[in-house]
Amino acid sequence: MRHFFVLLIFGILLAASSCRTDFDTVASSGDLKFSKDTVYLDTVFKNIGSSTYNLKVYNRSKEDINIPIIQLKNGLTSKYRMTVDGMNGNNGKVFNNVTLLSKDSLYIFIETTADITDANPTDFLYTDEIQFDSGSNLQKVALVTLIQDAVFLYPKQNPDGTKEKIEIDGKEVDGFYLDDNDETNGNELIFTKQKPYVIYGYAGVPENKTITFEAGSRVHFHDKSGLFISNKASLQINGAISTTKNLDNEVVFEGDRLEPEYSDVPGQWNSVIFADGSTNHSINHLTLKNAIVGLDIRNQDGTTFQITNTQIYDCSNYGILAQNAKINGENIVINYAGLAALSCVYGGDYKFTHCTFNNTWSGGQQFAVHLSNKLTGAIPENNPLTQATFNNCIIYGSNANEFNLDKNTAAAFVYQLNNCLLKFGSTSNPDYQFSTDTAHYNAIILNENPTFFNTNLNKLNIDKTSAAFAKGNQAYIIPLDILGNTRTSPPDLGAYQSKDFPK
């Protein structure tokens, strides 16, 4: 019992000493150190909040100090806001009497939401500064953000407070139909390069209408948003060869977070959906990134969907998911998808030439290419695959098997690979006898590394050391590669001619 009372008294004394909150401090002398002298908050669209950025403040002295004030220069009117060691201060703008212990540091977290009218009209920069103390002890850290103007397209609010809806797959989702005579935006079915576009919800193309994307247009999709091409509606993407790293003539679809850390994050927006019966589609020089499903193509009306010179990256499910579609694809590059780079299901008619399908998604169930004439839940569950032809293509990835056939013998299943580099492990399955089954496979290069430049950066260029170098068949050649360079004879496999290897 005596030992118990001794421990109890010791615990009380320890608790009392640990609860001390008064510190003998001295006034700040203007000798604070900072992790950076300028905080650059990456480009944001007007009135869309930025990511959170941090600044670390150090007290290198041997004394505990009191900082009388930490504030934004523009005060309560500033478009920046911050927290200081978890404190919100006065609306995140002004903080009084902040204690910083000797040899210690504090974190400041900064974010912004600003309009284009807040920015400097000559360079579209919005600036402010964090001020520490005042007078002769004043220290400053600059804040800089580029505000980008945009055309915002979103569901209108109904009189009862609900959002406008459209129907997709029998379900109502937040969305709206684009208007070719909108009172604010004019013709919303023609996307130009004058300003980027930001879409909230699903933007629908009405029946018997065509949506056109001019060269250089940029479309940014918010979370859970996408594009919906209705029955009898059409899509035309008219991108062109770009001469700069900025892809000046490329049409670009991506998420609406512009910060570099979001550039390769999958699943930031939903999909471009081509509904049953949509028609007369053409895509040239499109770069699509960060979707759940890049292109979701369903039961076309029999017209051929032409897809050329197109790059699709970082999709959490599929790069292209085609269901009973008819596609002619040339110079297509797809990399990194949670299920398959290219998945053609429920039959259809497909021809791909000089395409690169690669999948480096971590896991064992992903494919670069998946072909099937089945669809669970459909009536009937099988549909003829009348053609699936791959010429001068690369089908590769990080798994042992990157090519998958899922057949129902009750329907046709016609496929052929000619002069392709393919990754596939050994098997006795008669569907995968690449050297002896000449009805389906001709001149297959099996399990040799194409040595892409950098798959993590979506650089699927090759050089002369690649197993795909000069292995193509001249009979299938597309004269120009995806970058507009002339192919040699014999051509390289895939979408890139080897001289395009980055320096």
Distance separating alpha carbons of residues 205 and 189, to the nearest angstrom: 8
Q: What is the dihedral of CA 224, 240, 474, 384, to 10 degrees?
A: 30
179 and 310 share one domain:
yes
Percent of the chain beyond pLDDT 70? 94
Q: Are residues 356 and 334 in contact, defined by beta-carbon separation less than 8 angstroms? A: yes
Matching residue, tokens 């090519």? 403
pLDDT in tens, 68-121: 999 999 999 999 999 999 999 999 999 999 999 999 999 999 999 999 999 998
Mean local confidence (pLDDT), 346-350: 97
120 and 184 share one domain:
no
Give the CATH number for residue 111. 2.60.40.10
38 and 84 share one domain:
yes
Instruction: Give the tokens for residue 378.
Output: 């459909």
Predicted local distance difference test score (pLDDT) of residue 16:
42
Q: Are residues 327 and 366 in contact, defined by beta-carbon separation less than 8 angstroms? A: no
Predicted local distance difference test score (pLDDT) of residue 3:
46
Q: Are residues 85 and 55 in contact, defined by beta-carbon separation less than 8 angstroms? A: no
251 and 333 share one domain:
yes
Distance separating alpha carbons of residues 370 and 479, to the nearest angstrom: 27
Considering 148, 166, 182, which residue would you say is the last residue of a domain? 148
User: Which of 204-218, 241-255, 282-296 is predicted least confidently?
Assistant: 241-255
Predicted local distance difference test score (pLDDT) of residue 158:
83
Beta pairing class for 125-132 and 139-148: antiparallel
271 and 409 share one domain:
yes
pLDDT in tens, 426-485: 889 999 999 999 999 999 999 999 999 999 999 999 999 999 999 999 999 999 999 999
Predicted local distance difference test score (pLDDT) of residue 19:
38
Residue 1 has pLDDT above 60, yes or no: no
Task: Note whether residue 1 is domain-resident.
Answer: no
Percent of the chain beyond pLDDT 90? 83
Predicted local distance difference test score (pLDDT) of residue 6:
42
What domain range is 71 assigned to? Answer: 26-148
Considering 127, 148, 169, which residue would you say is the last residue of a domain? 148
260 and 221 share one domain:
yes
Dihedral sign computed on CA atoms, order 484, 489, 491, 497? negative
Distant-in-sequence contacts of 245-250, Cβ < 8 A, 24+ apart: 247/287, 248/216, 249/215, 249/216, 249/285, 250/215, 250/216, 250/285, 250/286, 250/287
Q: How many structural domains is the chain composed of?
A: 2
More confident call, 10 vs 493: 493
178 and 283 share one domain:
yes
289 and 200 share one domain:
yes
142 and 160 share one domain:
no
Question: Whole-model pTM?
Answer: 0.86
Q: What is the DSSP letter of 87?
A: B
Considering 94, 122, 148, which residue would you say is the last residue of a domain? 148
Average pLDDT, the chain: 92
